Structure formats: C-alpha cells, structure tokens
C-alpha cells in the first residue's frame, strides 16, 4: 500500500492542482459500506463494485481518488464525489 509522504508532496488533484491528503479510515469504511449496497458511482457514471483500500482527497472539490494496489488513480472520471455520499445515512 502506498504510504509515503513523499508522494503527497508531488501528487496533486488533476483538476484543481491542489495538494491531496489521505482519506481517513472512517471515510473509507463509510464508502465501502455504500459500495456493498451498490450506492456509489464515480464521476464517469460507473458503479464502484470493489471495496476501497485507500483514497486521496481533494478537499477543494470534495472528491476522493481511489488508490488501487498502491497506485493512485488520478483520473477525473474515476474520482468519487463525496457530497453525494455524505447525504446518505449509514443504514
């Protein structure tokens, strides 16, 4: 898994060019609960079917970019808009 702070210094949001930060484990757990219920789509309109291992946040745009097998996927269409997620209840 990707965990080096070096990467956070060089990786930026592909849209805003703002720095990214790690998503905390609570957010990943919440998203994974939604993924199990088929309630998460990415900005490209594709359903997310695999649980997230890690994610990088672009706080300015409220997006999460997935990290798959330790590799950040910094494609706009693969980002998950978190404003849609936060409005859903956990049950």
CATH classification of the domain holding 30: 2.20.25.10
What distance in Å separates the CA atoms of residue 12 and residue 53, rounded to the nearest whole number? 19
Query: Does residue 91 belong to any structural domain of this protein?
Result: no
Query: Does residue 34 belong to any structural domain of this protein?
Result: yes
Element (H, E) at 58: strand 54-58
Q: Strand 63-68 vs strand 21-22: parallel, antiparallel, or unpaired? A: unpaired
Closest C-alpha to 83, from 11, 16, 47, 31 = 31
Structural domain harbouring 68 = 5-86
Query: Does residue 43 belong to any structural domain of this protein?
Result: yes
Q: How many domains does the chain have?
A: 1
Query: Does residue 63 belong to any structural domain of this protein?
Result: yes
**Looking at residue 2, what is its pLDDT?**
52
What distance in Å separates the CA atoms of residue 64 and residue 81, rounded to the nearest whole number? 7
Span 35-75, pLDDT tens digits:
999 999 999 999 999 999 999 999 788 999 999 998 999 99
């Amino acid at each position: 898994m990707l965990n080096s702070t070096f990467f956070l210094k060089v990786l930026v949001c592909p849209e805003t060019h703002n720095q990214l930060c790690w998503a905390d484990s609570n957010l990943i757990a919440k998203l994974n609960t939604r993924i199990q219920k088929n309630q998460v789509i990415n900005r490209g309109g594709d359903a997310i079917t695999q649980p997230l291992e890690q994610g990088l946040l672009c706080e300015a745009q409220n997006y999460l970019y997935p990290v798959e097998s330790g590799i950040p996927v910094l494609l706009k269409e693969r980002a998950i808009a978190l404003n849609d997620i936060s409005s859903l209840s956990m049950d």
